[in-house]
Amino acid sequence: MASIPWAESYLGQLRALAGDRTLLFVGARGIVFDDQGRVLLIRRRDNGIWAVPAGAMELGESIADCAVREVYEETGLRAAEVTPFAFYTGPAYTFTNMYGDTYQLFVTAFRVDRWAGQLTRVTDETIDAGFFHPDEMPATLSRSVYESLADLAAFERTGQMVLK
């Protein structure tokens, strides 16, 4: 499963047509733990920030399939079972990326319940990857990591999906 080049992706094609207007970004992120309770982080190739595997949904796939694909593309791990636990939406989740493109997120976060494979630390989209204890995270960390971990804990405590 190779990464889709940006220009060929649904969002890349839509951006080319829409110009600089704000677009909805429909995507997924996957929270993966190892058997020691460490969370999987990837270091993004585009900005060097550590984050959880995540990305935009493509036409013809489900949001769960998006999470599975993104985990695989960015880590080489094959997610066998995923559980949604949070939705991130609304104006508070509007951002402008390093290329000057503005997006309002509609992202579904998934807990990866079962996975297999060997971790690939460098991919087309990453410059490193590894498992980290929640109290020993890298300094250059996406703010979404702690939010997602807190929301996952809330979901596991209450059984209720988190909607933001």
For 22-163, CATH gives: 3.90.79.10
Count of H-run helices and E-run strands, the chain: 3, 9
pTM: 0.94
How does pLDDT run across 74-129, given as a tens digit for each residue?
999 999 999 999 999 999 999 998 889 999 999 999 999 999 999 999 999 999 99
Average pLDDT of every residue of the chain: 95
pLDDT of residue 4: 82
Task: State the average pLDDT over residues 54-82.
Answer: 97
Give strand pairing partners of 106.
26
pLDDT > 60? residue 1: no
Nearest 5°: phi and psi at 108? -105, 130
CB 130 within 8 A of CB 121: yes
Closest by CA to 152, choosing from 115, 109, 93, 106, is 109
How do residues 23-56 score in pLDDT, each as one tens digit?
999 999 999 999 999 999 999 999 999 999 999 9
CA distance 133 to 141: 13
Q: Is the pLDDT of residue 3 over 80?
A: no
